Amino acid sequence: MRAVLQRVSRASVTVEGKVTGEIGPGLMILICAMEGDTDAKADQLAAKIAKMRIFKDEAGKMNLSIRDIGGAALVVSQFTLAADLRGNRPGFSTAAKPDEGKRLYDYFSDRLRAEGVPVENGIFGANMDVSLNNDGPVTIWMDV
């Protein structure tokens, strides 16, 4: 699985004029299930994200996890993270097929909740308007 994490002060997703997910301080997580990904990879990614110390402590050091700060995650599906950029037009053949991608997206969100992180979501496959305030900025790319 591939993810881009952005530490945010707030973030939201709107689909067809309706807010489908909204958080205050926490993480915006753009997620892509790749061909061949498994539940075990989603488990590994959720556990790592829940424990990752990328939030500031009282001394201003990145020493706290999303759980430590009582933050939430906004999880948004983004198959374009699988882009193959060898030519001028990106290809996405390494992304999981839509049915499996949605299943793993939902599974990952559930696993992150099981790790003690409140989760909001976008809508898989929808054209989404994503808004966020990147805090830091802190942006981290992950592959598992």
In whole angstroms, give the CA distance from residue 47 to residue 142: 13
- 80 catalytic? Reply is yes
How is residue 67 written in tokens?
Answer: 């759980």
Catalytic residue among 38, 80, 92, 139: 80
Sign (positive or negative) of CA dihedral 55, 61, 63, 69: negative
Catalytic residue among 6, 20, 55, 78: 78
Catalytic residue among 6, 55, 79, 108: 79
How is residue 129 written in tokens?
Answer: 């308007």
Which amino acids are annotated catalytic? 78-80
